[in-house]
Structure 1
Amino acid sequence: MKISIGNDHAGPDYKKAIVAFLLEKGHIVTNHGTDTFDSVDYPDFGHAVAKDIEAKQADLGIVICGSGNGIAMSVNKHQGIRAALCWTKEIAELARQHNDANILSIPARYTSIPQAVSMVEVFLNTSFEGGRHATRVNKISC
C-alpha cells in the first residue's frame, strides 16, 4: 500500500517510528514531514499529504501535529478527504469502518508513540463497511 505522511515540529519522533513500522510491513511511504523540532506550519505538510491522495499517488495518509486538530482541519479542506482525529485504536478502527476515513490524524502531545503506531496498524488493516455508512459518507462533501 502507498502511504503519504506529513508532520509538523511536534511529530518527528512519531513519524520516524511510524515510517519504520510501515516499511517493515512492506508499504511504500512518501514523507512530507519535517525531521526537526524547529517551528513550522502544519498546513504546508498536511496539504501535501491530501494532494497525494487526491492525485491517487497514495492510498491512505497519516498526519501528525501537536493536537492533531490543526492539521486535520487543513487536510479536510480538500475534496474527497476524510481525515479522522484519533487518540485510540478503537476510534481509528471506527473511522475506517463507518466513515471511510482516508487520513489518520494523530495528536502527538496526547498520545504515546506505541499508541500511535497501534492506531496506524488498525487504520491500515480496517476496511470500510459500506452499506448504511456509505449513504452518510456520500453526504459529507459539499
Structure 2
Amino acid sequence: MTISIGNDHAGTDYKQAIVKHLEFLEYTVHNYGTDANDSVDYPDFVHPVAKDIDQEKVDFGILICGSANGVAMTANKYQNVRAGICWTKEITELTRQHNNANICCIPARYTAVQQAIQIVDTFLKTKFEGGRHQNRVDKIPVKC
C-alpha cells in the first residue's frame, strides 16, 4: 500500500511517528510535510497529497494540522478527494465505512501521538460499506 502524508508545523512530531509506524508495517510513504516546527502555510503541504489521491498515484492520504479543518478544506477542493476529519476511532471508522474517505485528517492539537497512530491504523483497515452509501458518495463531486 502507498500513502502520501503532509503536515504543517503543528503536526511535525505526529507525522514523524506515523511515518515510522507505517514504514515498520512496510507501507510505502511519500512525505510531503514539513520536518520543522517553524510556522508554515498548510496548503503548501496539502496540495501534493491531494494531487496524489486525485490522480490515483497512491492508495490513501494522511494530513495533519492543528485542528485538521484547514487541511480538510483544502484537500476537498480536488474532484476525487474525500478528506474526513478523524479525531476518534469511531469517527474514523464511520468516515471510511459511510463516506469512503481517501484522506484522513488528524487534528494534532486535539489528539495525542499514540491516538493518532491508532486513528491511522483504523482508517487503513476499515472498509467502505458501499450499498446505500455508494449512492451518496457518488453525489459528492460537482459535475460541471
Q: Which aligned segments of 4 or more residues in structure 1 are displaced greater than 4 angstroms?
A: none
Q: Distance in 2 between matches of 1:20 and 1:28?
A: 11
1:26 offset after TM fit, Å? 1.0
Question: Could you say which residue in structure 1 is the equivalent of 2:126?
Answer: 126
TM-score by length of 1: 0.98
> Secondary structure of the equivalent of 2:110?
coil
1:77-131 deviation per Cα after TM superposition (whole angstroms, max 9, x unaligned): 0001000001101111110011000000000001000110000000000111100
2:37 paired with 1:52 = no
Measured on the aligned residues, the alpha-carbon RMSD in Å equals: 0.6
Letter in 2 for 1:7: N
Question: Could you say which residue in structure 1 is the equivalent of 2:81?
Answer: 81
Q: Distance in 1 between matches of 2:29 and 2:131?
A: 31
Q: Distance in 1 between matches of 2:139 and 2:25?
A: 34
How does 1:71-110 map onto structure 2 within 5 Å?
Answer: 71-110=71-110
Q: Distance in 2 between matches of 1:62 and 1:32?
A: 10
Q: Distance in 2 between matches of 1:20 and 1:89?
A: 20
Q: Distance in 2 between matches of 1:10 and 1:134?
A: 34
Letter in 2 for 1:26: E
Question: Could you say which residue in structure 1 is the equivalent of 2:117?
Answer: 117
1:2 offset after TM fit, Å? 0.3
Unmatched tracts of structure 2, length 5 or more: none
TM-score by length of 2: 0.97
1:24-57 deviation per Cα after TM superposition (whole angstroms, max 9, x unaligned): 1110000000000111100110111000112221
Unmatched tracts of structure 1, length 5 or more: none
Q: Distance in 1 between matches of 2:32 and 2:81?
A: 17
2:65 paired with 1:61 = no
How many residue pairs get aligned? The number is 142
Question: Structure 1 vs Structure 2: percent identity of aligned residues?
Answer: 63
Q: Distance in 1 between matches of 2:9 and 2:71?
A: 12
